[in-house]
Amino acid sequence: MPLDMTQFHEVFFDETAEHLSTMESLLLYLDPEDPDPEQLEDLIRAAHSIKGSSGTFGFQEMAGLAQEIEARMARVRNGQERLSAERASDLQEACAALRALLAGCRGEGGVSQEATAGDTPPAAPDLKVSFHSTAKPEY
């Protein structure tokens, strides 16, 4: 008998909202010119958690965007990419897109749960920097 994953959706929704709040808070206080390594790690960890749980529950748009955030922050952490005020702002927009996707998964807002299975969310195209690449996170 297959496990009905929908029984765990509320826990997923709550935990994802907490991870998003963590990311948004960290981005507010992150110094783009000299990012704190611990803050970067916390951002990467939160994005990684969202990526994994979203993928587990089949919310692929959320998983993909969270993977891009995770990979971008890992490149910053590893010195392969520089963080700027504009890039930090783009990351805040990506968090807003994740929040919109989460609302859609919950059946709230303008994005339906079905739309997250393959359509681009309305908030994603507004990002100034594309978060779509094939880069894998670096650990």
Summarize pLDDT for 32-53 with one digit per residue, the tens.
Answer: 999 999 999 999 999 999 999 9
Query: What does the pLDDT read at residue 126?
Result: 39
Q: What is the pTM of this model?
A: 0.77
Tokens 């968090």 belong to 95
Write the pLDDT tens digit of every residue in 81-127.
999 999 999 999 999 999 999 999 988 865 444 444 444 433 333 34
34: left (phi over 0), alpha (psi -120 to 50) or beta: beta
Query: Residue 102 has which token pair?
Result: 């989460």
Nearest CA to 105 out of 53, 38, 59, 41 is that of 59
Q: Find out whether 97 and 24 touch, Cβ atoms under 8 Å.
A: no
The DSSP code sequence of 20-56 is HHHHHHHHHH--TTS--HHHHHHHHHHHHHHHHHHHH
Overall average pLDDT of the 3-22 stretch: 90
User: Is the model more confident about 109 or about 65?
Assistant: 65
Domains in the chain with CATH codes: 5-126 (1.20.120.160)
Q: Give me the pLDDT at residue 110, please.
A: 55
